[in-house]
Amino acid sequence: MSSVFASRSLNVIDDLSISERRYFFTKVKELKDAIVANDEKVLDSFRINDPDFGIYEVFLEDSTRTKESFRNAANFHHVKVSELISSSSSINKGESYADTFNMLSGYHNSIFIVRSKVEGLTKWLSEECTEYAERNNLPYRPAFINAGDGKHEHPTQELLDEFTFLEDIGMDFSSIHVALVGDLYHGRTVHSKADGLRIFDHVKVDLIAPEELMMPESYIEKMKENGFEVSIYSSIEEYLKTAQDPAKLWYFTRPQLERMGERILQKQDILREAITFRKDFLPYLKEGTRFYHPLPRHKEHPTIPTWLDKTPLNGWERQAINGMYCRIVLLSLVGGKIGDDYVPVPGDHETDRRTEEYIIQVEPSKDKKNKNYSEGVRPISDGIVIDHICKGDDPGAIRNHMRLISSILGLDDGRGGEWVSRGSDGQYKGIIFRPGARPLERKDLKRLAAVAPHCTLNIIRDGRVAEKYRTHMPPRIYNFDDLCCQNDACISNPINGEGVPASFYRTPDGHFACAYCGRFHTFKEIWKKRS
């Protein structure tokens, strides 16, 4: 298998680079044209055609379209297609996901299609089952396709949504203007768009939802970081009456009642009204407007009413049909059948930043002044002083955080103290003094940078600052027992009992995102709660 796509997992849409996704869409178009033309030769060029090649569907959450389009796509390939009936599986006896899927990997299955409420599950499984395959000398590496994980992502839905948009704008990647309407808070299909729409050179997104259903701030931030123009409206009515330039492409989602808390459920009728299309809106639409929906629609309260089905606005039926074509092509790529002709583009995938330095040593003598830190009235002769902690926060928050830093670095025993001071700029900052403390080791420095970025660490010897370091946020944080993603739905949260070590990466706007579920955390939030 020489293709870069072979045995690749798709956990989030960005697991495929922009250039890889653009290639994917050209292949989907090729397949769809061949289906329309009944060109068996071209269709055969996509087929895995191996009765021993195993594709396994595991749907731990309900589905019709994703499950059935994948099943039909897998059948297209003339391969072994299996399904785990989760309601009668040993998962219900308390077996871990890793054990279940390792076992299934051993039964000659190469691709797993997994839907779950647990976020980040396929990422974890792809790591675990790769190690299992290596340990057991399996002749293949199992690949995992995320068929929707909780509120997180739905990358294959994203692929079929984008393909359908592309069909309607002439397969042109130069720009897109799309309105996202509905439950943008809980809907994973719109979350995938924050990275998914990067395939277009210029992106304009109008978000239409009442406050309770508005897209989480982290995804809006991500869209802005990705260079998207983002506008926000609280209802369709407001959008059509105030927007200077309404979009022609409208992407609706249903209110995800099954993911809502009681507080929002009580207001569901009012909220639904704001995101449901009405007849009197029709005159405000631009010529050529098209509606899309990942489906299902709610049978009693569809946000796209059924009287629109027979109008030219209907893009959602073709969108659903495209789902099978996109999934056929994805299986062809991951199965190693096609993709050899793809020419990787430099920078396709972000470079590994693990080597980036985040503890910078500075010359104490060149610093403003090599001040003497004191232990009460006496100067500190040997020890450490951590300065500039949480500069700009309020004093109470600084004190709380200094307690966390002290605990995380194991500085709770011994002499010393903490105080909050106010600089000439009027801003508060925290200082931790630890006379007699041993100098921090490399691993401790990484913990310090993670829990107290933008502080300075002074190593005091003989009453002078002998070494001085400035900390910056590390690009990745992992391998510490006391890390914890705060998202209960995340596979790495201890509540899920899977024993997945938490791991975070730095985001461009200075957060730590969970490597599994993508949840943004501040540097104060990535730690297990302390009693």
**Distance separating alpha carbons of residues 449 and 443, to the nearest angstrom:** 10
In whole angstroms, what separates CA 343 from the centre of its chain? 26
Output phi, psi for 10, to 5 deg.
-125, 95
Q: How far is the CB of 367 from ligand CP (least distance, A)?
A: 57
Nearer to ligand CP, 3 or 253 (CB): 253
Look at the block and give the residue holding tokens 């103290």. 417
Burial class (CB in 10 A: 0-12, 13-18, 19+), 279: exposed
Q: How far is the CB of 69 from ligand CP (least distance, A)?
A: 8
Nearer to ligand CP, 63 or 268 (CB): 63
Nearer to ligand CP, 120 or 294 (CB): 294
Nearer to ligand CP, 65 or 399 (CB): 65
Nearer to ligand CP, 201 or 309 (CB): 309
Nearer to ligand CP, 3 or 157 (CB): 157
Interacting residues toward ligand CP by CB under 6 A: 63-67, 148, 157, 294-296
In DSSP terms, 417 is beta-bridged to: 433
Q: How far is the CB of 83 from ligand CP (least distance, A)?
A: 14
* DSSP tag of 376: T
Q: What beta strand segments (E) does 405-475 contain? A: 417-422, 428-435, 456-461, 464-471
Q: How far is the CB of 158 from ligand CP (least distance, A)?
A: 11
Nearer to ligand CP, 256 or 486 (CB): 256
Q: How far is the CB of 125 from ligand CP (least distance, A)?
A: 19
Q: What beta strand segments (E) does 257-358 contain? A: 290-292
Q: How far is the CB of 244 from ligand CP (least distance, A)?
A: 32
Nearer to ligand CP, 3 or 66 (CB): 66
In whole angstroms, what separates CA 488 from the centre of its chain? 15
Q: Are strands 512-514 and 520-521 parallel, antiparallel or unpaired?
A: antiparallel
Nearer to ligand CP, 187 or 383 (CB): 187
What's the residue count for the chain? 531
Q: How far is the CB of 335 from ligand CP (least distance, A)?
A: 21
Q: How far is the CB of 317 from ligand CP (least distance, A)?
A: 13
Q: What beta strand segments (E) does 202-255 contain? A: 202-208, 229-233, 249-252
Q: How far is the CB of 337 from ligand CP (least distance, A)?
A: 24
**Distance separating alpha carbons of residues 67 and 74, to the nearest angstrom:** 10
Nearer to ligand CP, 115 or 198 (CB): 115
Nearer to ligand CP, 154 or 434 (CB): 154
Whether a cis peptide bond, with omega within 30° of 0, leads into 296 is yes
**Distance separating alpha carbons of residues 445 and 450, to the nearest angstrom:** 9
Spatial contact of 192 and 12, defined as CB atoms under 8 Å apart:
yes
Q: How far is the CB of 156 from ligand CP (least distance, A)?
A: 9
Q: How far is the CB of 297 from ligand CP (least distance, A)?
A: 10
**Distance separating alpha carbons of residues 328 and 79, to the nearest angstrom:** 12
Burial class (CB in 10 A: 0-12, 13-18, 19+), 227: exposed
Look at the block and give the residue holding tokens 């998962």. 91
Spatial contact of 81 and 74, defined as CB atoms under 8 Å apart:
yes
Element (H, E) at 433: strand 428-435
Element (H, E) at 429: strand 428-435
Q: How far is the CB of 114 from ligand CP (least distance, A)?
A: 13
Question: How many CA atoms, within 13 angstroms, populate the side-chain half-sphere of residue 27?
Answer: 26
Cα torsion for 96, 101, 103, 109, to the nearest 10°? 170
Nearer to ligand CP, 68 or 211 (CB): 68
* DSSP tag of 102: H
